[in-house]
Amino acid sequence: MSGLIDLYLQQFKTSLAAMLQYRAALVIWLIGQILEPLIYLVVWTVVSQTQGGSVGGFTTGEFAAYFIGLMLVNHLTYTWIMYEYEYRVRHGSLSFALLRPVHPIHSDIADNVSSKVVSLPGMFLAAVVLGLLFRPTFHFVPWAVAAAVPALVMAFLLRFFIEWCLALAAFWMTRVNAVNQTYFAAMLFLSGQVAPVALLPGWIQTTAAILPFRWMIAFPLELLLGRLTPIQTMEGFAIQGAWIGLGWISMRIVWRAGVRAYAAVGG
Amino acid sequence: MTILRLLWIYLRVGVMNELAYRVNFFVRLFQSLLELGTALAGLAVVFSYTDTLGGWRPDEILALLGVYFLVGGVISVVIQPSMEGFIESVREGTLDFTLTKPEDAQLLVSVQAVDLWGFIDVLLGSGVLVVALARLGERVGGLEAAMFGAMLTAGIGIVYAFWLILATCSFWFVRVENILVIFQSMYQAGRWPVSLYPGWLRYGLTFLVPVAFATTVPAEALTGRLNTETMLGALALAAALLLASRAFWRTGIRHYSGASA
pLDDT for A107-160, tens place per residue?
888 888 888 888 888 899 999 999 999 999 888 889 999 999 999 999 999 999
Query: Using CA atoms, how far apart are residues A224 and A76, in angstroms rounded to an integer?
Result: 14
Q: Is the pLDDT of residue B261 over 60?
A: no
Q: Is the pLDDT of residue B260 over 60?
A: no
- The lowest-confidence range among A164-173, A201-210, A240-249, B135-144 is B135-144
Nearest CA of chain A to the CA of B157: how many Å? 25
Please state the rounded mean pLDDT for residues B237-244. 95
CB contact under 8 A, A36 and B188: yes
Query: Using CA atoms, how far apart are residues B127 and A17, in angstroms rounded to an integer?
Result: 48
pLDDT range class, residue B227, cuts 50, 70, 90: confident
The one-letter amino acid at A121: P
A87 located within any domain:
yes
The sign of the torsion formed by the CA atoms of A64, A68, A74, A77 equals negative
Nearest CA of chain A to the CA of B75: how many Å? 19
CA atoms within 13 A on the CB side of A210: 5
CB contact under 8 A, A42 and B27: no
Nearest CA of chain A to the CA of B80: how many Å? 17
Q: Which positions ≥6 away from B36 have C-beta within 8 Å?
A: B69, B124, B128
A267 located within any domain:
no
CB contact under 8 A, A185 and B175: no
- The lowest-confidence range among A57-71, B13-27, B158-172, B212-226 is B13-27
Q: Is the pLDDT of residue B166 over 60?
A: yes
A127 located within any domain:
yes
Q: Is the pLDDT of residue B218 over 60?
A: yes
Q: What is the mean pLDDT of chain B?
A: 88
- The lowest-confidence range among B109-118, B172-181, B239-248 is B172-181
A73 located within any domain:
yes
Give percent of chain B with pLDDT exceeding 70.
98
Nearest CA of chain A to the CA of B42: how many Å? 7
Residue A72's domain comprises 2-261
pLDDT (0 to 100) of residue B108 = 85
Q: Which residue of A has its CA nearest to B54?
A: A46
Residue A51: which of B50, B175, B198 has the nearest Cβ?
B50
Higher pLDDT, A118 or B234: B234
Query: Using CA atoms, how far apart are residues B123 and A247, in angstroms rounded to an integer?
Result: 40
A266 located within any domain:
no
Residue A178: which of B27, B189, B198 has the nearest Cβ?
B27
Q: How many domains does chain A have?
A: 1
Instruction: Give the three-state DSSP class for B210.
Output: coil
Q: Are A95 and B89 in contact (CB under 8 A)?
A: no
Q: Is the pLDDT of residue A267 over 50?
A: no
Higher pLDDT, B224 or A240: A240
pLDDT (0 to 100) of residue B159 = 94
Please state the rounded mean pLDDT for residues A86-90. 81
Residue B49: which of A47, A185, A194 has the nearest Cβ?
A47
Q: What is the mean pLDDT of chain A?
A: 88
Q: Of B149, B136, B142, which is closest to residue B61 (Cα–Cα)?
A: B136
